[in-house]
Each structure stands twice: as structure tokens, then as C-alpha cells.
Structure 1
Amino acid sequence: MKKFRTILAAFLLLFITTPVLQSCLDDWDDDEHPLLAIGTVRIIDGKDYYFALDEGTKMFPGDTAQVDNYTLVEGQRAFVYFNLLDEEVTGYDYNAKINHVENILTKDIYFMPAEKADSIGDDRININNMWITDNYLNIQYQLYHSNSNDKKHMLNLIVNEASDGKNDKEGYITLEFRQNAYGDEPLMPGQGLVSFKLDKIADRIPGKTGLNIRVKSLHDGEYYKTIDFKTDEN
């Protein structure tokens, strides 16, 4: 079995130290210093499953005693805390004891008509990092909030059907990363990760170089950031 390659190491360490994830980690104890990866839940025959990791490998959940109550959803993005097992499993790169699974907000792209602009919102938010894996655009973001459990923010990646196209970039598909803070007071910074399925724009991808993402940032206003699709290496 190959040695596990730590992916996005600095990025993952950043999330380990956040209060949201730390509160979840307090629910289980493990003295084996678990590893952490980001992956996608893939269900086999309706009940069995594995994790397709962002590094391009497959992890078999050989020991799921600590996550028996985890609800399986095909295509769900997640942080996976695990320890590697010695026994190899045919067809998989890793066999692991799964200690904890923390779901990542996973959404479809929304085609926004002009009349829905107010409800979708356009509050300020930063894109700190983004990457494409499998069929998902992953965005690490930063926003301001009041730290109130009663206040929820909504995030969307949209196709703006009312756009005049003046900021389109040749060879790229233009999308907009939007936040609706619902009037939450911007008292403190927070960060998170959201994954958007690219299925709904699959017919637009052939022949394109990548995505052109519009965002209304915290301090610099509106700008566009591009990300290229991965190409197969021969």
C-alpha cells in the first residue's frame, strides 16, 4: 500500500485549528494521531462506499465503528479523519479506520434570473484559495459575521442570466461567487470551505480553459479570478 500523501497540508492545518471543527473533534477521542484528507463520498450498490480523495486516490473505509451513524450521500464532500490500516484492499490505494467525517457544504451551481438577485444577495466575501477536483470547484473563503448561532449566511455559485458579458474572458466560463449575510453584523472574521458541483455547466466545459469567477471582496471590491481546468498528463 502506498504511503499516504498529505494534501493541501497548510490549508488543512488551518481548518484543524478553527473552533467549528474543533468542537466536532471533541466528540471522539483517538490517541493514534489521525490523518486528515478531503474527499468525496462515492456509494457502491446503494450501501457500500469509499472516499475519492482530492489527491486522486481511493480510500476504503475498512473500520467504520466510530462513524456508524454517518449518513451517506452520494457526491457529498467531506473532511475525513482516519488512521491507515496495514491490510491492503484490492482496487484501493488506502485502507483506513475512519475516526470522524465532517461534511463540507456541497451545492449545485444556480442559474440566477434577474428577479432573484436580491434573494441571492451580493455581500462582501473573500476567495482565499480555490481548486478543482473531480467534478467540483472548491472555494476556501473568508467573511465577517457576528458569531451568533441564530444568524446563517447563504453561499452560492451562480450563472448570472442578466449579465451583459462585458467582464467575460475568452476561453473561460464566467460564474459569480455570492453571499447573502441576511443582515448579520460584521463583527469578526471567519472562514470556511464550500464545494460546488460542476454538473449543471458540463455542456459548456468542452473546449474551455477554465472558470472566470467574479467576487465582491471584503476590501478591494469587485474583481475576477480565474482557475484552469486540469489537463490529463500523457
Structure 2
Amino acid sequence: MKRFGLFILAAFTAIGFTSCSDSDGDYPRSWAFATVKTLENNDYYFVLDDGKTAYPGDKSRIGAYQAEEDERAIIYFNLQKTPVESYDYNIALYLVQDIYSGETQTVASQEELDELADAPTSFLGSRLNSNYLNLGVGFNATDLSKHTFKLVYFPDAEIDPDNKREGYVNMELRRDANGDEGRYNYEDRYVSFKLDAFEELLKDKEGIILRVHTRLNGVKYIKIDLPKER
């Protein structure tokens, strides 16, 4: 399911895992982008974007959360010392916030690219690894359910040399408002793209140059680096 969740105050440049002490209050010290995986008896676990698995051995702080297979989320948690067999981490789970899952697309011609919607979208930050691109975005909307996002690659695109860099792949962020008038300002949304369709394309690359049609500054090209160790 694709959906927009409420904004979580998690800086894209922050470290997802932090050391903690149980003596200074009951709150989550760690957070991560993750994919929800369901188990029998309404149970679930998470696959973090680095491929590690996390089982919520302590769900006492979570209410009636309904896990959905392959839903993208940001999870807030603390690591627990007691291991759980078959999982990399045992966690005390504090919050699960579903986030929007965008689509990826490769286009074959300029005409096909020109047919895609290109509604203005603020760029608020990014986290990129070989599995996912996670973006913070802002846009105007009245009905959030009408808005869709695509990460687009056009192999034969003619790109100005100023917006290209050796070792980087040029891609585009495209938003389709589907006729929504955009009455309210949303500067607080995440969009996540699974990169399996671009696995070979990004192999041995340094990162992505992302074209974004921004709301205030027109078209911008943003360099997003892949982690050095991957």
C-alpha cells in the first residue's frame, strides 16, 4: 500500500543508531528507515535499509498497530541486549510511522519523459543506499491520496555538462498531483523508492544526480552520494 504518513523529526544526516542509558528516561534513542515484514499470528518484524533484520521483542509501547507486508516505515526503538534467534537485532519498539512508497520507471524517449507530470516539489533531504532512496519532500495538496511520485531514468537524456558528474547517474523526481488544487502546504512528508530495478545501473557508481522541479527555485540538480562502504 502507498500512503503518506505524518512527519517524524528525524534529520536525514543524523546517525540512525545511538548508544543509550536506561537511567535517563524512557524514550527511543534509535531510528531507521525499514520495510515491514509480516509473520503468523499478526506478528511482524522489520528489514532495515542495510539488510539487517530487527524483531520487536518488546511491543508494550505500541498500540493496535496493523502490520502490512512490504509497507515502508520509519521505526523508533531501543536496542535490547537479549538476542532473538534468526534476527540481527532485538528491539523495544516505540513508534512505527508508515511512509509513502514511490515507483521507479525507465523511459525510452524524450516524448515519453515529457508526458510525465512534473508538479513542483520541495527537496528537504535524502538518505541513499544501494537498496533505497528516501527523500524528504514538500508540496501543496488538498487530497494527499491523489499525489504520486516517480523516480525516473532516461538513458539517452541530453544533460547539460554542468549537471553531470563522473560516476553519478542522472535521474529525475516526478510528482503527479492528478488535478489536486493544492490548498494546504505540506513541508513534512517522506517518499521512499526501492532501487532493485536500478541495481545494475548503480553498481560501482558514486551516487545520483537528482533533477527536482522545486517550488521556489525552479529546476535544481542535487547530488546524492551512496555510502562509501556498501
Q: What's the RMSD between the two structures over aligned residues? A: 3.4
Is the contact between residue 108 and residue 200 of structure 1 (CA under 8 Å) also seen in structure 2?
no
Is the contact between residue 105 and residue 194 of structure 1 (CA under 8 Å) also seen in structure 2?
yes
* Correspondent of 2:226 among 226, 229, 232: 229
Alpha-carbon distance between aligned partners in 1 of 2:9 and 2:158, rounded to the nearest angstrom = 41
CA gap 1:174/1:134 in 2 versus in 1, 3 angstroms = closer
- Structure 2: gaps spanning 5 or more residues: 1-6, 12-25
> Which one scores higher on RCO, CA 8 angstroms, separation ≥ 6?
2
Residue in 1 aligned with 2:100? 105
TM-score, normalised by the number of residues in structure 1: 0.69
1:182 aligns with 2:178: yes
Identity level (%): 30
Alpha-carbon distance between aligned partners in 1 of 2:216 and 2:83, rounded to the nearest angstrom = 50
Alpha-carbon distance between aligned partners in 2 of 1:37 and 1:90, rounded to the nearest angstrom = 22
Number of matched pairs: 203
Is the contact between residue 70 and residue 101 of structure 1 (CA under 8 Å) also seen in structure 2?
no
TM-score, normalised by the number of residues in structure 2: 0.70
Is the contact between residue 50 and residue 131 of structure 2 (CA under 8 Å) also seen in structure 1?
no
Residue in 2 aligned with 1:27? none
Q: Where in structure 2 are the equivalents of 1:1-234 lying within 5 Å?
A: 12-13=8-9, 33=27, 37-41=31-35, 43=37, 50-53=45-48, 58-64=53-59, 66=63, 69-73=66-70, 76-82=71-77, 85=80, 87-89=82-84, 94-113=89-108, 114-117=110-113, 120-145=116-141, 147-148=142-143, 152-160=146-154, 163-166=157-160, 167-190=163-186, 191-232=188-229
Residues 53-109 of structure 1: per-residue CA shift (max 9 Å, x gap): 458864222145745631222xx4212244655633356564234355332222342
Alpha-carbon distance between aligned partners in 2 of 1:152 and 1:172, rounded to the nearest angstrom = 32
